[in-house]
Amino acid sequence: MKLYIIPTPIGNLGDMTFRAIEILKSVDLILAEDTRTSGILLQHYQIQKPVWSNHLHNEHKILPKLIEELKSGKQLALISDAGTPAISDPGFLLVRACVQENIPVECLPGATAFVPALVVSGFPINRFVFEGFLPPKKGRHTLLTQLAEETRCIVFYESPHRLVKTLLELQNYFGPERPVCVCRELSKKFEEHQIGPLSEVYTYYEAHPPKGEIVVVIHGK
């Protein structure tokens, strides 16, 4: 009886750890955010285990069944489409339920997109604030007003179709000269880092519409 939290590559399949592969091959059941996405990873490493969907739209409904499976003595592994589950991905509800039911939970170290972005920024990162995805509407103004005064480094995820609008908006709160680092497609073939004042990075992406996964790091005040 145990739940394993298994980080998966954020892009490059070679970033999977040996231990993660071993555990995925040994468990009774794998829980995946998107079975099609995870299927590519599992096939690549020749992992043949039952796979159940566990995503934002069904995690409440499936939770009692998963706890039942664990209590029956089974070992389950939770993976997301990329990175470490429960960080801006499904997983929190299951982990919390396991803790409440005294079911052992073990999280393997591994890929998380915001850590490489922090490191390559060159900003002071001995202390930082992780915001996940910023709220699209409700609470956005209040949060950005607070973050503008934050002295620690700030890191968050953003979608490519919202990046340019967000960079323009950030200039109103943080000022056009506040240093920012935008990391795109980390660990993938077209990995890119744009580092500089908000105004310059905004101008770059206005001229070069971004694609792929994006992490934004803002220098503290």
Pairing outcome for strands 2-5 and 75-79:
parallel
Residues found in the chain = 221
Per residue in 123-148, pLDDT (tens digit) is: 999 999 999 999 999 999 999 999 99
The architecture (CATH level 2) of 2-107 comes to 3-Layer(aba) Sandwich (3.40)
Bridge partners (DSSP) of residue 154 are: 129, 218
Same fold, 2-107 and 114-218: no
**3-class SS string, 47-67:** CCCCEEECCCCCHHHHHHHHH
Contact 115, 125 (CB under 8 A): no
CATH value of 114-218 in 3.40.630.10, 3.40.50.2300, 3.30.1370.160, 3.30.950.10: 3.30.950.10
Q: What is the DSSP letter of 157?
A: E
Per residue in 11-41, pLDDT (tens digit) is: 999 999 999 999 999 999 999 999 999 999 9
φ and ψ at residue 8, rounded to 5 degrees: -120, 160
